A and B are shown apart, each in its own frame.
Chain A
């Protein structure tokens, strides 16, 4: 079973617009991570937020975490065509070994 559920499944926007993706999970976590996957490629780590953090920024990325609602959001500001990819949230529980449980992902298309 998958821990994270992402919403929306697909998102289509114009360059310059902001893109927001949401992730919900079921059990308690140690941290939550967001990854990006370009078509036909492996996943690339974007950002990690710890369970005791509420917000984190990295360049044009902003991640929020609400542990009371078991949810997270990823905001990409001023999107570019190169941001077109699938985005996955993944949760790590306190069991250790950095094991991750992935959501099904959001497919983002940014049109020039």
Chain B
């Protein structure tokens, strides 16, 4: 099993450009999450999904959109990138078997720089 994978690993954008980050998991998890991690800080939740076709806002959702058209995939979009969105982005997934008592499994991250 590959676990949680993310593409791309690195990306440099110019201000105003758009891009989509792809997250895929092969563990049949119901829940998926997108976080951002800035230097010296912990992870902050951007958006999350509790099942195919559903999404919800997290702590820092502004400037991002997400979609979960297939259970195994969770996409994060930046419509008009800003320098403040320079960060490392992590995707994670979690089982719903024991709600509230499950660990999250993380992808390796995408390092995004917006010039």
Contacts and interface: CB of A to CB of B under 8 A. Distances in A.
A89 to B, nearest CB: 9
A103 B43 CA distance: 8
A41 B108 contact: yes
A30 interface: yes
B106 A44 contact: yes
Contacts of B107: 42
Given A41-B108, A44-B106, A97 B45 contact: no
Interface size class of B (residues with CB under 8 A): 20 to 34
B48 A45 contact: no
A1 B109 CA distance: 22
B41 A100 contact: no
Nearest to A9: B40
Chain A contact residues, majority secondary structure: loop
B1 to A, nearest CB: 15
A30 B101 contact: yes
Interface string A48-78: 1010000000000000000000000000000
B74 interface: no
Contacts of A48: 101, 103
Contacts of B103: 33, 45, 48
A98 B41 contact: no
Interface of A: 1-2, 4, 30-31, 33, 35, 40-45, 48, 50, 88, 90, 92, 94, 96-105
Interface of B: 4, 31, 33, 35, 40-45, 48, 50, 58-59, 90, 92, 94, 96, 99-109
